Structure 1
């Protein structure tokens, strides 16, 4: 998204703002202001973006200019908008708010919210021991400058060994260490996606991947996931026909749906990509978090014969997000090209963090097993709570990963997220995982909090859903508009 938003673009993001439950209890201008605040709060509308002129937005939404003017006035009063006569209006972070760990906004003094907007686990107990062992190994690296653009050799070897254990022979020369999986994706996009190139993604998908693609000004097309996951014929056919420069896929416990791609489809996608000249970027963030105990399909790169598959992963999901270590697995020449591109961005990853990652990978069996047991219990507690409190909601219970993708009883995701926050629960609404205001019937619910907190959160969400339909009307003052 650019620094200026057209009226039609904002209208698509707003979606059906005028026909949500409870809409009859608030005037048009208040509903419009609330919908824009929701876009800002959940990250779909970035900071510093110039909104369309009042007349242009009024025409796009088919409402009066008075309605838009009053809505903009409310947003200025709440600190979400700054206007300058003759120059326009820009989105701003309101006073008393901060950007939370999930990327969503939160009040500075409201630190006790149950945060279901972030799908990440706390650090494992083994992290302290791993850090102590890493400090003991640090002196051997202090004699050099500390810049290792492709990463420390021992960490690259450990990551390569992990791929080999999954049945994919890999050498350290095929591994590059990055500052997290998102950084890995950004570097790959810099290398492989020219500005304006076509890119295929799943829908829904990881929101920060969409943000990275927007920064590259990519032309994004989507493959919609159903209740059973990917439509094999449609996905393969889309790659062959549209021939995107790159396709970004999450085949292991897809974020946010939790689907697992079959081995047969993995092979077919690779063959289609090779025929179309498409590079495949495979996000393996959740590959370690299988909860079913069944054998995992081979890595997508196991079917690659022409170096068209680039795999990315990291320690954030199975270990801890505060340890910013990710990696890229690709052909050795591609790794060297990535390293050359990286030097102009951030030089290298922290040496101490890489040593901690080495120690964690050495302890992987015990850590990951404990994670799987905890996540299984928390998933089951969340599913049971939703079925008890919100029986109209539906989801396919995933066999791994950390999230449920709930189909709601109406297109109320954004409105429900705003209502739930007033009751102390932060949510990431469905449209955050798609393009242009779609997916209002869906909501991502991570099961990364302890089971009692998840049960408490579902109770509050159910109360918020009830309030959307039945809460008493508010008294609204008529807006004053000055010409």
Structure 2
């Protein structure tokens, strides 16, 4: 912790109280945890810059209407996390963003920027949610801890969100899983077997393709044009000619293209699936990352049009944190009963503590933090787009209205070679071939913008150097990297 007293401006207790707003979680007795989490959120959001002098404990207690004991406990937590520093006689000030809780980073000249994973760090307030969940855990430790379908509290909150988005849902229609990938594998095991056809978009999420291959299912690709979108005629022909056992679709900020299907298109696509009685697994892992505004104002879920054979996959990884390893499936009660009966061959349920953490994050007040995260990602998207235009001027891409990545068209078929060259310049990428059913896509590259803005700008500069080196190289080996 720094011992240097900063020269930053001082924020008054009254001003800080206005900034924090309704910081106490409804019904929570963890006042110090809640206050520390709220201050952390505004520090990481940039509204309490490093160096800001905090009001005295007595002044802050009076402004917030709480005891000095609570204020002292909250400051102790912030000091432990490296967010606040204090000196007797000099008061307290913002000293960091909690980076000491993260793994140490290398100097920028030596750092490896991982652009193979489109996954953000934890949502601000995560530690406060963990502390609140630990307090609530006492009600569950008397049992055996196996809750196959998931905690009722978490299922209710997820169901409420679907209902608010235009798809009436009850807790009985939600099952908690160990991540979205686990949810997809459960659906795959129930719906298809070796040799069965599965309709997918081209390009699509590589881990889903890997799961299909592991199950010896046969993916049937339908081209997804980054400029036009979904090919309804192609999908209809594939449904008629291939008779797939189910379809796997990502219609909200599609991974990797970033495209989003409008409400009219959802009605048309859902009608095709319903008329042919084709089950559909709809991946909504990115639906909460809508830069245009509140996702509640977006188009209704595809399942609202696709009938009772729809299964929605959700995830906390992209919106909150991959470290929670939690996802869910929203489907009819009949389909969930079938999934539950076969689940024991895969796992015995998701961990209780993590479910309590996510339930705390999905309280009504928690969506304000998601709104700030969307604003951050929108800024990071723009930083990356500008940096790529500067350092890779012959690349083209659409700027998506949500999600976590740009899908870039390269001037030549060189995606795999570029991924290898970029690794030599400290940037890890997933080549376009990983997103295709049968490889190919060498003119395409996914570039996520989940890293901080300064790292994105440096990564783009290095990509420019990698492009220049590729033009002088003839043959380089393929790469194999983990993708999220």
| Aligned counterpart, 2:416 | 414
Distance 1:471 1:325 in 2: 43
Q: Would the alpha carbon gap of residues 378 and 257 (structure 1) be closer, same or farther in structure 2, given more than 3 Å must change?
A: same
Deviation string 1:158-207 (CA, Å, 9 cap, x unpaired) is: 11011011111101110000000000000010011122111010011000
| Aligned counterpart, 2:232 | 232
Deviation at 1:277, TM superposition (A): 2.8
| Aligned counterpart, 2:299 | 297
Contact 1:243/1:277 (CA < 8 Å) preserved in 2? no
| Aligned counterpart, 1:45 | none
Deviation at 1:143, TM superposition (A): 1.3
Deviation string 1:30-54 (CA, Å, 9 cap, x unpaired) is: xxxxxxxxxxxxxxxxxxxxxxxxx
Deviation at 1:270, TM superposition (A): 2.0
Cα-Cα RMSD: 1.8
Q: Would the alpha carbon gap of residues 140 and 198 (structure 1) be closer, same or farther in structure 2, given more than 3 Å must change?
A: same
Distance 1:407 1:178 in 2: 35
Contact 1:119/1:446 (CA < 8 Å) preserved in 2? yes
Contact 1:181/1:326 (CA < 8 Å) preserved in 2? yes
Write out aligned runs for 1:317-396 (5 A).
317-362=318-363, 363-396=365-398
SS of match in other structure, 1:470: coil
Q: Would the alpha carbon gap of residues 302 and 111 (structure 1) be closer, same or farther in structure 2, given more than 3 Å must change?
A: farther
Deviation string 1:307-331 (CA, Å, 9 cap, x unpaired) is: 1110010111000000011000001
| Aligned counterpart, 2:434 | 432
Contact 2:252/2:261 (CA < 8 Å) preserved in 1? yes
Contact 1:428/1:443 (CA < 8 Å) preserved in 2? yes
SS of match in other structure, 1:210: helix
Deviation at 1:244, TM superposition (A): 0.9
Matched, 1:146 2:145: yes
Distance 1:414 1:203 in 2: 18
Deviation string 1:244-294 (CA, Å, 9 cap, x unpaired) is: 111000000000000001212212222222222311000000000011238
Count of equivalent residues = 364
Distance 1:472 1:372 in 2: 41
SS of match in other structure, 1:264: helix
Distance 2:472 2:197 in 1: 45
Contact 1:116/1:428 (CA < 8 Å) preserved in 2? yes
| Aligned counterpart, 1:247 | 247
- Once structures 1 and 2 are overlaid, which stretch shifts more, 121-130 or 265-274? 265-274
Q: Would the alpha carbon gap of residues 428 and 256 (structure 1) be closer, same or farther in structure 2, given more than 3 Å must change?
A: same
Distance 1:405 1:364 in 2: 30
Distance 2:397 2:453 in 1: 18
Deviation string 1:431-451 (CA, Å, 9 cap, x unpaired) is: 011122210000000000011
Contact 2:219/2:437 (CA < 8 Å) preserved in 1? no
Deviation string 1:77-127 (CA, Å, 9 cap, x unpaired) is: xxxxxxxxxxxxxxxxxxxxxxxxxxxxxxxxx993110011000002210
Distance 2:303 2:413 in 1: 38
Distance 1:111 1:389 in 2: 19
Write out aligned runs for 1:114-153 (5 A).
114-153=113-152
SS of match in other structure, 1:155: helix
Q: Would the alpha carbon gap of residues 237 and 158 (structure 1) be closer, same or farther in structure 2, given more than 3 Å must change?
A: same
Higher relative contact order (CA 8 A, sep 6+): 1
Contact 2:273/2:306 (CA < 8 Å) preserved in 1? no
Tell me which of 436, 448, 468 is aligned to 1:466.
468
Distance 1:334 1:381 in 2: 43
| Aligned counterpart, 1:159 | 158
Contact 1:290/1:372 (CA < 8 Å) preserved in 2? yes
Distance 1:333 1:256 in 2: 32
| Aligned counterpart, 1:445 | 447
Contact 2:202/2:222 (CA < 8 Å) preserved in 1? yes
* TM-score of the two chains, using structure 2 as the length reference: 0.73
Distance 1:415 1:152 in 2: 47
Distance 2:313 2:325 in 1: 14
Write out aligned runs for 1:208-227 (5 A).
208-226=207-225, 227=227
Write out aligned runs for 1:176-215 (5 A).
176-215=175-214
The gaps in structure 1 that reach 5 residues or longer are: 1-109, 475-483
Deviation string 1:121-153 (CA, Å, 9 cap, x unpaired) is: 000221011111101110111111111111111
| Aligned counterpart, 1:168 | 167
Q: Would the alpha carbon gap of residues 357 and 466 (structure 1) be closer, same or farther in structure 2, given more than 3 Å must change?
A: same
Contact 1:310/1:328 (CA < 8 Å) preserved in 2? yes
